[in-house]
Amino acid sequence: MPNRLTAAGLAGLRAAAARHVAPDRVPGLVALVASGGQVHVEALGELTVGGPPVRPDSVFRIASVTKVVTGVATLALIEEGLIGLHEPVGELLPELATPRVLRQPDGPLADTVPAHRPITTRDLLTFTFGFGAVTEMFLAPEPWPVEAAARELRLAALGPPDPAHQPDPDTWLARFGSLPLLAQPGERWMYNTGACVLGVLLARAAGQSFGEVLRTRIFEPLGMADTAFWARAPDRLATAYQSAPAGLVVVDRPDGAWSRPPAFEDGAAGLVSTAGDLYAFARMLLGGGAPVLAPESVAAMTIDQLTRAQKVHGGLGFDFFDHQSWSYCQAVQDTGAFGWNGGYGSSWLVDPVADLVVIGLTQRLFETPEPPRVHRDIQAAAYAALAPR
């Protein structure tokens, strides 16, 4: 098969990425683009401002790209018969067996009604089990009572990951189970929390930690040696930054929250990884799932799994569902491409139609739900690098 990534196109990719690299913008990045057997990697800038250079195998906090891995692990355990897609989760998660639901999402915590039906595994996979981040929450002048309670309980269920403070899985779920749901199970899409709960469900179903579930079912079979809930080689981990009025400020250092095993292995946003590991994960899905999933599971994970009614309230922004929908723990675009982004600075896109994988890893946090310009420019340049078929 002739190379589809042209030399001129790859030069354009490097230029598009390099435009964003600067100590006060994006200190460093890794951009990977692949088509067929052709793989091209750009490593630019510094892991830490004034520090060592970024390398192709540098480690980044992938935040919400973790969700896609959690979705795959869930389907793997369904294939093993350890859980059922449509089964209530209450047997393994008795803390969620009889949930209460707020009459109004922004209402008092005590003003609740019983859930109309149990929560199922599928509800968690599709983020429709009744709890999560919604646009109205971010627009409210004051925090909703349930949001304030979740923050006080140190759950990190509605915002960025917090491995330094989240409690162990049993404590986490007991605290979460003390909260009412925001909506009836199956009623509407709500972001993030379903993947947190899935991590606890899979650990209990398999009788081992969630990290071990991922290692044995995904990471070892695919050779993803650098993907875990903490960086075993912190000298290769990028410093995390966020924008502030005076410039970039440090959020987490290489010897910080991701330098040691966390108490809670967060299935929504806890992993660190490399471009090479995420490419191996993408190739598994492009190749039909072996040796991790059956082709039927891959097919189910790459199509729209929401009803019109579940989308009517919008997603992360009221136009979220204009050109995409949600499958099992990841977005699926109208074009057939799928993937997701991580708010700590990562993007992961797989396009089976174009036979293209695009991975962007940076250490600058997102400032809005939409990926920053650097990620959009890398993806646009990757498509432009493809020769016509």
Mean pLDDT of the region 308-321: 93
Q: Which residue is associated with the tokens 């020769």?
A: 387
Instruction: Please tell me the predicted confidence (pLDDT) of residue 389.
Output: 80
171, pLDDT greater than 80: yes
Amino acid at residue number 120: T
Q: Do 153 and 114 share a domain, yes or no?
A: yes
Does residue 379 contact residue 347 with C-beta atoms inside 8 Å? yes
Q: Do 266 and 252 share a domain, yes or no?
A: yes
Cβ neighbours, 10 Å, residue 312 = 11
Q: How confident is the model at residue 317 (pLDDT cuts 50, 70, 90)?
A: confident
Instruction: Please tell me the predicted confidence (pLDDT) of residue 3.
Output: 85
**Residue 36 lies in domain:** 7-64+208-299+333-384
Closest CA to 175 of 146, 209, 213, 203: 146
59: CATH: 3.40.710.10
254-281 confidence digits (pLDDT tens): 999 999 999 999 999 999 999 999 999 9
Q: Among 152, 184, 206, which residue terminates a domain?
A: 206
Closest CA to 52 of 276, 208, 320, 233: 233
Q: Among 154, 185, 206, which residue terminates a domain?
A: 206
Does residue 334 contact residue 323 with C-beta atoms inside 8 Å? yes
Cα–Cα distance for residue pair 188/220, rounded to 1 Å: 35
Mean pLDDT of the region 332-355: 98
Q: Do 201 and 215 share a domain, yes or no?
A: no
Q: Do 167 and 178 share a domain, yes or no?
A: yes
Mean pLDDT of the region 61-84: 98
136-168 confidence digits (pLDDT tens): 998 999 999 999 999 999 999 999 999 999 999
Residue 327 lies in a domain: no
193-239 confidence digits (pLDDT tens): 999 999 999 999 999 999 999 999 999 999 999 999 999 999 999 99
Q: Which residue is associated with the tokens 């195998």?
A: 57
Instruction: Please tell me the predicted confidence (pLDDT) of residue 1.
Output: 56
Q: Do 369 and 359 share a domain, yes or no?
A: yes
Structure tokens, 169: 């899985």
- Give 280-288's long-range contacts (Cβ < 8 A, gap of 24+): 280/222, 280/223, 280/224, 281/68, 281/69, 281/72, 281/218, 281/222, 281/224, 282/34, 282/348, 282/350, 282/357, 282/359, 283/34, 283/357, 284/222, 285/72, 285/350, 286/350, 286/352, 286/355, 286/357
107, pLDDT greater than 70: yes
Amino acid at residue number 256: G
Residue 309 lies in a domain: no
Q: For residue 388, what are the contacts with CB-CB under 8 A and spacing of at least 6? A: none
Residue 325 lies in a domain: no
Q: Do 83 and 136 share a domain, yes or no?
A: yes
Domain count, the chain: 2
320, pLDDT greater than 80: yes
On whether the pTM is more than 0.95, the answer is yes
341, pLDDT greater than 90: yes
Q: Do 225 and 342 share a domain, yes or no?
A: yes
Q: Do 85 and 228 share a domain, yes or no?
A: no
Q: Do 174 and 75 share a domain, yes or no?
A: yes
Mean pLDDT of the region 74-78: 98
Mean pLDDT of the region 40-47: 98
Q: Do 161 and 107 share a domain, yes or no?
A: yes
Q: Do 154 and 81 share a domain, yes or no?
A: yes
CA 269 to chain centre: 6
Q: Among 191, 206, 221, which residue terminates a domain?
A: 206
Kindly report the backbone phi and psi dihedral angles of residue 244, in degrees, each rounded to the nearest multiple of 5, phi listed first.
-145, 165
